[in-house]
């Protein structure tokens, strides 16, 4: 991605997409019982962590370090709703010693980032998290550093009020956090949340002062900082100032698709429909290809054989830009397989364009998950020649191409994929 996010937020965003594959709704009575047991598990884990801290003067590296001295029953580490028996969503969360259902926020892969984050958010921040309970409103059951249990969204950083007792506590804690740690990497998201909360409680003057204060800390060459400022200005409906901001950013970053997308939205709100469309196409040149012939590519697949779009002319093709590290891509894969299996004998095929960098990991995933279609792999990640040819700057990006080689859509995902494929095959 072109915009840099902190580790916690990136992982949280991926979980939002992958979550549906993990948490299958239980009958209401069973779900309630699972939550009750899971809550007790989290409380027991919290007490074990406290005992470990008292003995060692620090948090454990992994939850398995609590067993057997501070946590005698290893079953406490398994959520009753976890159908995988302790298999985490992300490999970075895999406990090296035993199965663990829970995401431990201070494991070695996250510890540095989460320690810094805690300076801003305090002990209300999640320490141990469970993502195995289907819930219409929230997705994660949390144990905080202060041993409180609460529900929150997966990316709680976007709605930090979920982790505090009330709005007053949220505002006071966040305001104090950025005051005491003005150079903290996560401060930008605190500024954003705090502006929204000030507006929510009708403290517009405080929001204005906060924006002016943020401008003083803004780094001129940091695009992320400018994007956060734009979100703050948008909350206050200051579109004219936003237009001035992004007009300057376009000069500074003349090829940045994120800047183009923001300009498209600003012009749309200001009623400049023609300019809005121009910037949409600048942000995503694929939009200009819809209904037109997709330029051919020439590459070799994983087996070393030549591959191109021309070889597939006469078929409906899903040109799927993806990667194993991309949570939304992995969450979508079962759907792609289902549609492939249903329509492969009717003239539908898939070409995978992998943006992975490790061939062995890619091959293992394809074998374990029985992915049958051909894959293009360069090992260059975002610099993959095919991805660059088609201006790919985010994934998943699944292009659905008609029999005659014209682009139907560049976002063929979810429930719409099968409908679009069936329609294209009938033509």
Burial 302-335 (b: 16+ CB within 10 A, else e): beeeebebebbeebbbbbbbbbbbbbbbbbbbee
> 117, 9 in Cβ contact below 8 A?
no
Q: Which pLDDT score, from 0 to 100, does residue 324 have?
A: 94
* Residues written for the chain: 427
In a shared domain, residues 253 and 343: no
- Give the per-residue pLDDT at 17: 41
How is residue 360 written in tokens?
Answer: 């062995």
Asked if residue 157 belongs to a domain, the reply is yes
Q: Record the tokens describing residue 199, joined without a space.
A: 């507006």
d(CA 37, CA 80): 7
Distance of CA 277 to the CA centre of its chain: 27
Copy the structure tokens of residue 141: 């059951």
Q: Answer with the one of 118, 141, 163 that is the final residue of a domain.
A: 163
Task: Say if residues 377 and 356 touch (Cβ distance below 8 Å).
Answer: yes
Together in a domain, 303 and 359:
yes
Task: For residues 225-247, give the mean pLDDT.
Answer: 94
Containing domain of residue 221, as a range?
A: 168-288
Taking only the tens place, the pLDDT of each residue in 248-304 is 999 999 989 899 999 999 999 999 999 999 999 999 888 889 999 999 999 999 999
pLDDT tens across 81-98, in order? 998 888 766 677 889 999
40: its two tokens? 């007790």
Residue 1 domain-assigned (yes or no): no
**Number of domains present in the structure of the chain:** 3
Same domain, yes or no: 110 and 206 = no
User: Is the distance from CB of 399 to CB of 410 less than 8 angstroms?
Assistant: yes
Residue 78 lies in a domain: yes
107 with 46, same domain: the answer is: yes
Quick check: is 2 in a domain?
A: no
Average pLDDT, the chain: 90
Work out the pLDDT band at 307, boundaries 50, 70, 90: very high
The strand pairing partners of 319, in sequence order, are 351, 399
pLDDT of residue 92: 79
Nearest to 275 by CA among 265, 285, 288, 284: 265
Note whether 13 and 145 are same-domain residues: yes
Same domain assignment for residues 150 and 75: yes
H-type alpha helices, 67-186: 111-121, 167-180
Least reliable range by pLDDT among 29-33, 100-104, 107-111, 322-326: 29-33
* CATH number for 258: 1.25.40.10
C-alpha neighbours within 13 Å on the C-beta side of residue 349: 13
Q: What is the pLDDT of residues 102-130, one digit of tens each?
A: 999 999 999 999 999 999 999 999 999 99
CA distance linking residue 55 with residue 48, whole number of Å: 11
Question: Are 174 and 226 within one domain?
Answer: yes
For residue 22, what pLDDT band results from cuts at 50, 70 and 90?
A: very low
Q: Would you say residue 114 lies in a domain?
A: yes
pLDDT band of residue 137 (cuts 50, 70, 90) is low
Cβ(162)–Cβ(150) under 8 Å? Answer: yes
Q: Which tokens sit at 413?
A: 């995902």
User: Which of the listed residues 250, 266, 288 is the one where a domain comes to its end?
Assistant: 288
Check whether residue 330 and residue 311 sit in a common domain.
Answer: yes
* Cα separation, 317 vs 407, whole angstroms: 10
Q: Is residue 36 part of a domain?
A: yes
- In a domain? residue 304: yes
Whether residues 53 and 122 share a domain: the answer is yes
**Pick from 163, 192, 207: which residue ends a domain?**
163
Same domain for 199 and 64, yes or no, is no
pLDDT recorded at residue 185: 83
Instruction: Determine what percent of the chain is predicted with pLDDT higher than 90.
Output: 79
Per-residue pLDDT reduced to its tens digit, 51-74: 999 999 999 999 999 999 999 999
The mean pLDDT value for 331-349 works out to: 96
Residue 376 lies in a domain: yes
CATH number for the domain harbouring residue 367: 3.40.30.10
Residues 269 and 359 in one domain: no
Residue among 198, 203, 199, 177 at smallest CA distance from 188: 177
Are residues 54 and 115 both part of a single domain? yes
Could you say which DSSP state residue 310 is in?
G
Residue 178, Cβ density class (10 Å: 0-12 exposed, 13-18 middle, ≥19 buried):
buried
This prediction's pTM: 0.70
**DSSP 8-state code for residue 221:** T
């Amino acid at each position: 991605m072109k915009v840099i996010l902190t580790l916690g937020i990136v992982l949280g965003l991926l979980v939002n997409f992958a979550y549906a594959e993990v948490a299958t709704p239980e009958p209401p009575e069973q779900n309630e019982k699972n939550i009750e047991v899971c809550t007790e598990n989290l409380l027991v884990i919290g007490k074990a962590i406290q005992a470990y801290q008292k003995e060692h003067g620090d948090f454990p590296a992994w939850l398995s370090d609590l067993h057997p001295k501070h946590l005698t029953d290893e079953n406490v580490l398994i959520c009753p709703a976890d159908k995988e028996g302790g298999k985490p969503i992300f490999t970075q969360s895999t406990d090296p010693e035993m199965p663990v259902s829970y995401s431990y926020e201070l494991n070695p892969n996250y510890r540095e980032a989460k320690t810094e984050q805690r300076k801003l958010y305090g002990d209300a921040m999640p320490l141990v998290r469970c993502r195995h309970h289907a819930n219409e409103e929230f997705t994660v059951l949390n144990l905080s550093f202060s041993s409180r249990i609460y529900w929150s969204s997966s990316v709680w950083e976007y709605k930090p009020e979920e982790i505090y007792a009330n709005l007053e506590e949220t505002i006071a804690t966040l305001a104090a956090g950025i005051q005491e740690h003005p150079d903290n990497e996560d401060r930008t998201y605190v500024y954003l949340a705090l502006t929204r909360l000030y507006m929510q409680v009708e403290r517009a003057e405080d929001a204005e002062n906060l924006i002016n204060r943020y401008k003083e800390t803004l780094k001129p060459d940091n695009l992320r900082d400018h994007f956060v400022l734009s979100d703050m200005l948008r909350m206050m409906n200051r579109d004219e100032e936003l237009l001035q901001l992004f007009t300057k950013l376009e000069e500074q970053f003349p090829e940045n698709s994120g800047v183009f997308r923001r300009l498209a939205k600003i012009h749309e709100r200001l009623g400049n429909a023609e300019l809005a469309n121009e910037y949409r196409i600048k942000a995503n040149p694929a939009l200009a290809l819809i209904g037109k012939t997709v330029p051919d590519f020439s590459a070799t697949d994983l087996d070393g054989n030549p591959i191109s779009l021309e070889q597939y002319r006469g078929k409906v093709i899903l040109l799927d830009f993806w990667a194993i590290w991309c949570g939304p891509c992995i969450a979508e894969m079962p759907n792609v397989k289902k549609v492939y299996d249903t329509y492969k004998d009717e003239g539908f095929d898939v070409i995978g364009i992998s943006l992975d960098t490790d061939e062995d990991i890619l091959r293992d995933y394809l074998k374990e998950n029985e992915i049958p279609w051909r894959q293009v792999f360069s090992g260059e990640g975002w610099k993959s020649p095919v991805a660059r040819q088609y201006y790919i700057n985010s994934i998943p990006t699944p292009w659905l191409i008609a029999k005659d080689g014209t682009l139907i859509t560049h976002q063929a995902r979810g429930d719409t994929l099968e409908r679009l494929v069936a329609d294209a095959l009938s033509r």
